[in-house]
Structure 1
Amino acid sequence: MNVEVNRADALHGIAHGFLGRRGGVSTGDMAGLNVGLGSEDDPVAIATNRARAVEAVLPGSRLVTAYQVHSASCVTVLQPFDDNLRPHADALVTDRPGLLLGILTADCAPVLLADTEAGVVGAAHAGWKGALGGITDATVVAMEALGAQRDRIVAAVGPCIARTSYEVDEGFLDRFAAVDRANERFFTPARERHYRFDLEAYVVHRLGHAGVLRVEALGLDTYALPDRFYSYRRATHRGEPTYGRQISLIGLPS
């Protein structure tokens, strides 16, 4: 099976892709294109999957990823680094050709950004904590430092857990309402004292609020599409011992 690459119209002409689990060599609970270095998968399978991902999006480029910690920290990448030297961060930006920025997810929202005129790209991992903390804002600021202009930046939000699959408790809602009462619009009632949260819509909102004029949401629910995507929450609900991670990629050709 070939690697499935989901692309956004907003990023047309830019080397990018939101990958899922199709087209990999991992087996068992992580069957498919698992790229998670921290997963309990066979390291050889992970390396093979990561190589396949690179070839599917920007052949010959050097993949760089972060050690993601659900923060609002963004790192500017000026040269490749080894996997064991990954910075603790949740977003990467670069203006260097030949580098392929990668963000790993398993329900959180991957965000890919580009200013083609400036030749600057970015990738962000927006889980609820990072999204609320401002990871997308930090990415836009870091891109500006490389010469991008926020009104020229286009962005796409890839496969993530959808509102219908994302039930949270009242305390979760309160965290968002404490920052801005208007954030309550991203929640709909579920069972008593529980709500369903629209992570994708919230991330789109944060990008627009930061001045990104064109934002595309792919509308793909990681939880509801087990044959296409890994999902931490689905694995937890099913009592599976582990789960895989998919990757989203963007880069500038050499």
Structure 2
Amino acid sequence: MNARVRRIITTRRGGASSGKYDSFNLGEHVGDEPAAVRANRRRLAEKLGLDEGDFVWMDQVHGTRVVRVKSAPGGAIPGTDAVVTDQPNLALSVLTADCVPVLAADETAGVIGAAHAGRKGSSDGIVPALIAAMESLGAQPERITVLLGPAASGDFYELPEQMVADTESVLPGSRSTTTGGTPSVDLRKGLTRQLASLGVTDVDTDPRCTIADPELYSYRREGTTGRLASVIVRQG
């Protein structure tokens, strides 16, 4: 089986939200008007040529729970930070505003996965859990391709030195330094190294930094703000 896989990442432009959520906020949990979020999700589905019911959303909690989905559940999956499937036409979706969206696929096996990898989830092992769940469906690490989407970069993701050291100890390669010379973390660099240790070497990184790029939502920069969506779908 060689499947066509699409990976899509939204920006904050082109939607119905206003104020601090201007304008293409896709998160239901951030205080935006529910009608605006519904309109934005409907617009996203239309742009991708999908039905709203094809999307799989998660109630993300910075944990390591991975759920296999065989059909869209009709609501956010509770307490989950990664989903995998071997079914076509399911749009696995990750919401972020600084954390790393991880979109993975083994096109030969027809298996895709998506994970929300913040500092805590990355440190606790959400990405190895994602890869293991994909392998349980027949994926092979050497065939898996991964896109790490826009996220807080080491140039701007400043943290206390002890927190940086703690993260580096469990996610080697993540230690960084901001443009101002202070300790920071670059999760995408750490995750790329971790994926390589798992046998996944075909990894692309979207270079955009959510903190630095005004076209993207950033909790660090703005506090109250919307959420981007990173979506992966295998078309049958």
With normalisation by structure 1, the TM-score equals 0.86
Distance 1:219 1:91 in 2: 22
Contact residue 173 and residue 184 of structure 1 kept, 8 A: no
Q: What stretches of structure 2 of length at least 5 have no aligned partner?
A: none
Query: What are the superposed Cα offsets for residues 147-178 of structure 1, whole Å, 9 maximum, x if unpaired?
Result: 11111000010100111111110121231244
SS in 1 for 2:235: coil
Paired AA for residue 25 in structure 2: N
Gaps of 5+ in 1: 1-11, 237-241
1:190 touches 1:196 (CA, 8 Å); kept in 2?
no
Identity across the alignment (%): 38
Equivalent runs, 1:213-232 vs 2, <5 Å: 213-226=201-214, 228-232=215-219
- Tell me how far 1:184 sits from its aligned partner: 6.2
Q: Is the 8 A contact 1:33 1:49 kept in 2?
A: yes
The 5 Å alignment of 1:83-122 reads 83=75, 86-122=77-113
Change (3 A) 1:188 1:168: same
SS state at 2:91 partner: strand
Structure-2 change in CA distance of 1:190 and 1:196 (3 Å): farther
Q: Is the 8 A contact 1:111 1:126 kept in 2?
A: yes
Q: Secondary structure at the match of 1:167?
A: coil
Check 1:177–1:53 CA distance in 2 against 1; reply closer, same or farther (3 A cut): same
Q: Which residue of 1 aligns with 2:71?
A: 79
Q: Tell me, yes or no, if structure 1 residue 248 matches structure 2 residue 235.
A: no
- What SS class does the counterpart of residue 56 from structure 2 fall into? strand
Matched with 2:175 is 186
Kindly tell me: are residues 95 and 233 of structure 1, through their superposed partners in 2, closer, same or farther at Cα, counting changes over 3 Å?
same
Give 1:62 deviation, angstroms.
0.7
Amino acid at match of 1:130: G
Q: Is the contact made by 1:126 and 1:135 (CA closer than 8 Å) also made in structure 2?
A: yes
Aligned residue type for 1:206: Q
1:206-232 deviations in Å (ceiling 9; x for gaps) = 222211120001111111111x11000
Contact 1:187 / 1:197 at 8 angstroms: preserved in 2? Answer: yes
Task: Give the conservation status (yes or no) of the 8 Å contact 1:16–1:57.
Answer: no
Between the two proteins, the alignment pairs up a number of residues equal to 233
Deviates more, 1:97-106 or 1:59-68: 59-68
* Separation in 2, partners of 1:79, 1:115: 19
**Does residue 51 in structure 1 map to residue 33 in structure 2?**
no
1:66 aligns with 2:58: yes
| Range that drifts further, 206-215 or 119-128 | 206-215
Structure 1: how far apart are the matches of 2:186 and 2:136?
31
Note closer, same or farther for the CA distance 1:170–1:31 as it changes in structure 2 (3 Å cut). same
Q: Secondary structure at the match of 1:252?
A: strand
Contact 2:210 2:217 in 1 (8 A): yes
Asked if the contact 1:75–1:87 (Cα under 8 Å) also holds between the matched residues in 2, the reply is no
Contact between 2:217 and 2:226, CA under 8 Å: does it hold in 1? yes
Shift of 1:58: 4.7
- Residue-by-residue CA offset, 1:183-218 (whole Å, 9 max, x unaligned): 3662237779x5021122112122222111200011
- Equivalence for 1:212: 200
Shift of 1:55: 2.7
Q: Tell me the equivalent position of 1:18.
A: 9
RMSD (Å), alpha carbons: 2.0
Partner Cα separation in structure 1 for residue 168 and residue 209 of structure 2: 24
